[in-house]
Structure 1
Amino acid sequence: MNLNEPRDLASLIEAFLLASGKPQSLERLYELFEEAERPEPKVFKKALEVLGKSCSGRAFELKEVATGYRLQIRETFAPWVGRLWEERPQRYSRALLETMALIAYRQPITRGEIEDVRGVAVNSNIIKTLMEREWIRIVGYREVPGRPAMFATTKAFLDHFNLKSLEELPALAELREMEPEPLLDPDDAPVPAHLQALADASLGEGEAEAEVPKDETSFRSLLVELDAMEEGLKTDFDDLREEEDVVEPEASLEDEGKLQT
């Protein structure tokens, strides 16, 4: 095998990604080669392009997410692939969707600010679940009485929702233009089948802990689901202060490496 030949290298990278089953950064992929055999960076980049193009017309694709590259099933096939698992995934609760959306779009944000927008208290189980899944973390403390913690999303959040960066989050206005079908009862209406197939186990208010999700989900799909369940979610957030002094979290916070840049 000629590792300086992009096509040969592309096949080897494909083998790495298939065997790993999770995203691999360029740095990690480089480490898999001994120094004497390590390809030039430009060859490596070309090999990734070759691999990406080779997936054209296939059921899987090469996707770059926050923590690296991975091979994954195309979202188009999710409703059918989901039938491989007999257990029926639980639905995302409206409260969890709203909380997650607010943190994603208005980070850093405190629990109190989330409650101000939603108009109701945030269930502790929701914050606990999001933190246990490593979708959110504490990134600082607001300089107001009580110094409430501020939450932001993590790279694990981006990976799970198939995003490379926060800039890839769909615009709220763009989601509104998608006009989901009207529902007679937003609280009791069923989630569309194709969205339910994408959703994985989550924790509703007062429920027991859910298993960690196994599959990636489109954040756009979840927000459309939220839009269908409750069209009255406030999205201007005028009551939230635009600029606040931020105090960096103490060094004792765990997993500081997961903070997003």
Structure 2
Amino acid sequence: MTEERPEELEEEAADLDTEVSRVVAEATALRRLEALLFASPEPLSRAEIAERLPGADVAALIEVLIERYADRGVNVRTVAGKVQMVTAPDCADVLVAYRTEGRRLSRAALETLSIIAYHQPCSRAEIEEVRGVAVAKGSLDQLLELGWIKLSGRRDAPGRPLLYATTDAFLEQFGLDDVSHLPGRADLEAQGLLDARLPPGFAVPSPRAVEGELTGEDAADAPDFVTDYDGEAG
């Protein structure tokens, strides 16, 4: 049996100390991240977490927590590129007495929201073209009030119509990390949400995120109602 030299023992001891320090630091960072998510009333971005946990591997810590909480009554999930703790879906029934019921969206508002989500950015005239009927002012007002859609700019066309897009609040409400996670045609058909007799060439659009929002003078100039290409208010 070969005896290890003192310098080899010292090197092994140093390596062990380094590994122990790493494990302790990771465990500490994980506990601190857990506390941050638990206490935060809003989802946290990775940048916000990194600011609170300097030097930590934020992405790795998030993945550890997601896996650790996967089978618990509280889950960790990413929504709109941010991280939050949420109640596990199968435990929702025990919390129903504590949930605040919001206003129910009308069918017209739901259809309008769906069109904006899949076709964004789009104008009122484009929404009406897809729906086949006029868009009521109340539908857009309600969605704007809820914070699920935003004024994202103006179309470079006659009348420079306002454009609408979804917000991070929309993603948070429906549990989506980004709009690319909206259900596609196969998902909608599997849930029985599409008519079996679809017209030839029918396709579900591939939504994309829209950056930016009307601010300053553009936002101030935006009317309380929307004007379509023909200049008719509704």
C-alpha displacement at 1:5, in angstroms? Answer: 2.6
Aligned match of 2:120 in 97, 107, 121?
107
Query: Which ranges of structure 2 fall in alignment gaps of 5 or more residues?
Result: 1-20, 205-212, 220-234
The equivalent of 1:70 in structure 2 is: 84
Identity across aligned pairs (percent)?
32
**1:134 to 1:92, Cα distance in 2 relative to 1, 3 A:** closer
The equivalent of 2:132 in structure 1 is: 119
The equivalent of 1:205 in structure 2 is: none
C-alpha displacement at 1:66, in angstroms? Answer: 1.5
Which whole-Å CA distance do the structure 1 matches of 2:158 and 2:62 have between them?
Answer: 51
**Alignment pair present for 1:25 and 2:45:** yes
C-alpha displacement at 1:138, in angstroms? Answer: 1.7
Q: What is the TM-score when the length of structure 1 is the normalising length?
A: 0.62
Choose between structure 1 and 2: higher helix proportion.
Answer: 2
The equivalent of 1:137 in structure 2 is: 150
The equivalent of 2:217 in structure 1 is: 252
Which whole-Å CA distance do the structure 2 matches of 1:117 and 1:89 have between them?
Answer: 28
Which whole-Å CA distance do the structure 2 matches of 1:152 and 1:54 have between them?
Answer: 35
Which whole-Å CA distance do the structure 2 matches of 1:12 and 1:113 have between them?
Answer: 47
**1:249 to 1:56, Cα distance in 2 relative to 1, 3 A:** closer
How many residues are matched?
A: 187
2:191 partner SS: coil
* Letter of the 1:133 counterpart: L
Query: Which ranges of structure 1 fall in alignment gaps of 5 or more residues?
Result: 180-223, 239-247, 255-261
**1:151 to 1:54, Cα distance in 2 relative to 1, 3 A:** same
Which whole-Å CA distance do the structure 2 matches of 1:253 and 1:157 have between them?
Answer: 23
2:44 partner SS: coil
Contact 2:147 2:169 in 1 (8 A): yes
* Letter of the 1:39 counterpart: G
The equivalent of 2:55 in structure 1 is: 39
- What are the Cα deviations for residues 155-206 of structure 1, in whole angstroms up to 9, with x where unaligned? 2211221111111111134212222xxxxxxxxxxxxxxxxxxxxxxxxxxx
**1:47 to 1:151, Cα distance in 2 relative to 1, 3 A:** same
The equivalent of 1:175 in structure 2 is: 188
**1:249 to 1:21, Cα distance in 2 relative to 1, 3 A:** closer
- What are the Cα deviations for residues 97-134 of structure 1, in whole angstroms up to 9, with x where unaligned? 10000000011111111112222221112111211222
Greater relative contact order: 1 or 2 (C-alpha under 8 angstroms, separation 6 or more)?
1
C-alpha displacement at 1:237, in angstroms? Answer: 8.2
Which entry has the higher C-alpha Rg, 1 or 2? 2
The equivalent of 2:95 in structure 1 is: 81
Which whole-Å CA distance do the structure 2 matches of 1:78 and 1:253 have between them?
Answer: 42
* Letter of the 2:158 counterpart: P
* Letter of the 2:42 counterpart: K
Contact 2:154 2:160 in 1 (8 A): yes
**Alignment pair present for 1:9 and 2:9:** no
